[in-house]
Amino acid sequence: MSRGGGGGSPQLAPSAAALVSPAEAVRSSFRLPILCYHKIEPRHELGVTRISPRRFARQVERLAAAGWRTLTLAEVAACARGERAVGPRELAITFDDAYRGLRDHAFPVLEAHGFSAICFVITAYAGALNRWDVPYGGRRFAHLAWRDMRRWQGRGIEFASHTATHPRLTWLDEREVARELAESRRVLSAALDCICTAVSYPFGAAGAREREIAAREGYGTGFTLARRWRGDPMAVPRTPVYLWAPPLPGVGLLAPIERLGAAAANRCAVGTSLLLHRTRDRAPAPDPSLRRSTSRSPGGAWGAARARGRRSAPASASEAESD
């Protein structure tokens, strides 16, 4: 349906905006705040992605007190496709990496306030230590086990893909990108008896090629970090909540400054990827006691995932920065 045909103002020539369909109009004005958290942990580390449980609880309380409500993944996807308008005081809360600390320090707080969240899982590391990451300060953190996720499904927490092994997809060849996306979708769908429809690209890194492959592999929504909205449901931007976030993250007066800081920090994550590339081959095997907790995991792809963890270098610096 096109706008601009009705009305009684023949003296006004139809502007380009008047010819935009309602869906396009919604899509172009998509302004849904989507927060992206990582670790909610009492244990300190040197990185910037950890938020203490007390600080997180205060942020959620402030958001609830200010009248904000959270959207489900289906609602976010509908907004991104232009099929649903974003209402006032609506936001979405997401978590990348699916750390175990969420089970103890984040999910119960959200549930107490009637908030929902979307949690993105690195499927080959469910129930294992985060050996895919740089151990800032020598610390390792455990990821949610499948049984934790099953426990929180249906209690406001939805789970989706954060790939199988958390590579920077823009540095992989096309076949590897497809495998990371396909395998994580298959494993998560089987483990949680659902259809996985969304992916959060590691480091928010996804160019046109990665977005196309994700769509081809069955994803309907893709999430990036600290980017500008360009009308593509496969590249929905989020505001990362880092150590320095204000009490009302992502939606307060400081939100534009937050987004700038987040964009800069996200650029620095390229350094993390390079460091990982240099250290991956030296990483020890996963902790067997933690692996046992994934006994119902349908993946069985740990060895393959480890093998694929030995990544090739970025194809080019420009490609690495094109995400």
Point out which residues bind Zn ion (CB under 5 A).
96-97, 202
**Nearest-CB residue for Zn ion:** 96
Asked if 141 contacts 101 with a C-beta cutoff of 8 angstroms, the reply is yes
CB of 45 to Zn ion, least distance (A): 15
Asked if 64 contacts 250 with a C-beta cutoff of 8 angstroms, the reply is no
CB of 184 to Zn ion, least distance (A): 12
Separation CA 206–CA 36 (nearest Å): 16
Helices (H), the chain: 22-28, 53-65, 73-80, 101-105, 107-112, 146-152, 174-191, 208-216, 255-279, 288-292, 302-309, 317-320
CA angle 189, 76, 196 (to 5 degrees): 5
CB of 150 to Zn ion, least distance (A): 22
- Closest CB to Zn ion among residues 26, 164: 164
CB of 122 to Zn ion, least distance (A): 7
Separation CA 214–CA 199 (nearest Å): 8
- Closest CB to Zn ion among residues 90, 97: 97
- Closest CB to Zn ion among residues 38, 84: 38
- Closest CB to Zn ion among residues 96, 323: 96
- Closest CB to Zn ion among residues 82, 101: 101
- Burial label, 273 (beta-carbon count in 10 A; 0-12, 13-18, 19+): buried
CB of 25 to Zn ion, least distance (A): 33
Q: Is 268 helix (H, G, I), strand (E, B) or coil?
A: helix
Closest CA to 76 of 186, 189, 198, 228: 198
- Closest CB to Zn ion among residues 114, 271: 271
CB of 201 to Zn ion, least distance (A): 9
